Structure 1
Amino acid sequence: MTVDLTKRDVPDDVPDEGESRWATATLDAMPLPGEEPWKLSIGGMLRRHPKVPRGAGRVLGLLDRFGAIEFGPDGLGFDGEEVRWEKVIEIRTRTVDDLLLGPVSESVIDQVRDRLPPVPGRRWAVRQAVQTVTALVLAARQDLLEERPDRPPVPCEIVYLGRLGGVKRIEAGLFAALCMDRRPEIGTALQAAARRRHVAVCPAAPHDLATGTAQRAKALQHRTALLTARLRTAAGRSPEE
């Protein structure tokens, strides 16, 4: 199933103009990293929503790990996985179109739905999380199709030394990547923190899914249409509360 996102009669689970504006405006207003430990998550964003239902605190607490970006003097992490700076080997970056065309966009659906138990506020939280991610996907796609030249790559992968000496990776989820794409100051601060600790920052190998501007634009339109449809399905599967 695909969705023509240029039409105005898209289904109700695609965020309307007001919800899209809330998601982007709230992200734009989030405090930027400073000297203290810093964290951004979808749960933290939804706490700022004007219609948070009573009793939704537990659900939003569980979403603090979903899509999280966090770093500070001791370490950094994505999606609730953290590592101390002294274990980090390098930080890898990707462009947001490469992330949207890659496998990271496939896991966001299950993360939104499966991390939340059937408790009061679940349906609202799932729907709002879905709409927030969808709004950011659509905003990113619009910017990408307009070929804005000022879009820096985002830090999306932490390569570090595991406990038994093996090399491991922590990859940013789609929400984290979209946040760093929209607020490039976040990724810049993370990379600056890495360089201060003599951690290498380098580009990851691009996903070999499409070549050429026209081909990538077409693939991006197809991928984001499918992703939006899957997000709508995820919202529809959440139980009534």
Structure 2
Amino acid sequence: MTTMNAEDDDLAAGDDLGDPNERRSQWQDVLTAFRAPTIPIVEPWSISIATLIGSAYKVPSIASKALAQLDRVGALRLTSEAITFDTDDVEWNKLSTVRCRPAGEVLADSAVRREIDSVRKVLPPIPGRKWVVNRLADGVSQVATIALERVGGLNSRRAIATELEYRGGLGRRRSTESGVVVSALLAVVPDLNDVVLRMAQQHGARIEGYS
């Protein structure tokens, strides 16, 4: 069993996220650097909270393993064959419906807190965990706040893809929903939401809640 060591305790004890305004500017720069893929999608495209944290902060070596645990959490992946919300892979040709909701609804403070708590539970007690948890909480909050600013606040009616309904094994209907991070990324990365909806439509999926 892996346990925390003194080095990790020292790392967390001296942890300082820095000036709030500088952090906001830093996160805005990180998000601005991402571009949505073009259609047809030739190369796999992905973005995750782990990637964003790695871009926004200098990751100490002791925290690298803990950060890697988040690779498939708060993640969106697109290929020519499938779309992935966090850990759920859905083949485009099995996708039947994409449901959309207003960005202001899915990025509320209560949803952000739930997302942070749920992702925190994914991380095992390994060295670097506290460092990653601190950046995780800051990162999810920053991404959601910046996304809300971009779409016009909590009252925004801009619709983004939040649920994928698809045909599972034996033809059973299944669905997966986006978390706060994926929803925020769909709202903040230019054209990303449109790419998802267009790919879905090209494969015969129905779009609900979008106009």
Q: Structure 1-normalised TM-score?
A: 0.70
Residue 155 of structure 1 aligns with which residue? 161
Long gaps (5+) in structure 2: 1-15
What residue number does 2:173 align with? 167
Aligned partners of 1:66 and 1:111 also within 8 Å: no
User: Which runs of structure 2 are paired with 1:181-196 in the superposition (5 Å)?
Assistant: 181-196=187-202
Structure 1: gaps of 5 or more residues: 1-11, 205-241
Deviation at 1:85, TM superposition (A): 1.8
**Among candidates 24, 37, 47, match of residue 33 of structure 1:** 37
- Corresponding position: 1:139 with 2:146: yes
TM-score when scaled to structure 2?
0.79
- Quote the offset at 1:104 in angstroms: 4.9
The answer as to 2:205 corresponding to 1:199 is yes
Q: Secondary structure at the match of 1:164?
A: helix
| Structure 1 position 140, deviation (Å) | 3.9
The aligned amino acid for 2:201 is R
Query: Alpha carbons of 1:138 and 1:50: their partners in 2 closer, same or farther (altered >3 Å)?
Result: closer
- Report % sequence identity: 27
Matched ranges for 1:1-241 at <5 A: 16-34=20-38, 35=41, 36-101=43-108, 104-105=111-112, 107-142=114-149, 144-145=152-153, 152-203=158-209
Aligned to 2:11: none
Q: How many residues align?
A: 191
Cα gap change, 1:188 to 1:145, in 2 (>3 Å): closer
Q: Is the 8 A contact 1:20 1:135 kept in 2?
A: yes
Distance 2:131 2:86 in 1: 21
Partner in structure 1 of residue 7 of structure 2: none
For 1:139 and 1:169, the matched residues in 2 are separated by: 28
Q: Distance in 2 between matches of 1:145 and 1:45?
A: 22
SS of 1:90's equivalent in the other structure is strand
Contact 1:89–1:199 under 8 Å retained in 2: yes
* Deviation of 1:109 (Å): 2.3
CA distance in 1, matches of 2:22, 2:30: 12
Q: 1:147 to 1:97 in 2, by over 3 A?
A: closer
